Amino acid sequence: MSRIWIYQSKHKLSPSEKESITSETTDFINRWAAHNVKLDARFEIKDDRFIILSVNEQAVLASGCSIDDSVRFMQDLDKKYNLSLFDRLQMAYLDANGEVQVSGLNDIDKLYESGEIKDNTLVFDNTIQDSNQLSNSWKVPFAESGFAVLK
């Protein structure tokens, strides 16, 4: 099991953004360390929206300093590509066509009333913290999510 951090972009990454972010993140992952010990780390870009960092903490634990390094790296990516990776006032969901959409939390009630979001619409819980949760609880029905209280 790995510890994970999920960063959600406000827009779908273009092919050139995805290529550049992949290159830059690969460089970061290859040098990411905790107390001068290289972390067993990986990353992936899912749905052209989510950058997911993971560390196998059974090999080496991510330290506070190493986590701070990853946050600084992600902040740099955020600024460079205008991604709003740290805007926690957004919700990502799958629309009727299976495409990832992002909406501000202030719009949830309108989306629910219009039928764009229904109780069974899958939304992304980016607060999960490990690879098991990523596989089993990252996408949850709107009605079972913390976002449902905003409708």
What local confidence, expressed as pLDDT, does residue 151 receive?
77
Give dist(CA 138, CA 2) in Å, integer: 14
Per-residue pLDDT of the chain (151 residues; tens, 9 = 90+): 899 999 999 999 999 999 999 999 999 999 999 999 999 999 999 999 999 999 999 999 999 999 999 999 999 999 999 999 999 999 999 999 999 999 999 999 999 999 999 999 999 999 999 999 999 999 999 999 999 888 7
Instruction: Identify whether residues 121 and 57 lie together within a single domain.
Output: no
The residue count of the chain comes to 151
Instruction: Identify whether residues 94 and 77 lie together within a single domain.
Output: no
Q: What is the pTM of this model?
A: 0.94
The domain boundary, picked from 32, 54, 81, lies at: 81
What local confidence, expressed as pLDDT, does residue 19 receive?
98
Instruction: Identify whether residues 109 and 46 lie together within a single domain.
Output: no
Domain count along the chain: 2
Q: Which two tokens stand for residue 41?
A: 């780390």
What local confidence, expressed as pLDDT, does residue 106 receive?
94
Instruction: Identify whether residues 59 and 95 lie together within a single domain.
Output: no
Which residues pair with residue 43 across a beta bridge? 53
Instruction: Identify whether residues 72 and 139 lie together within a single domain.
Output: no
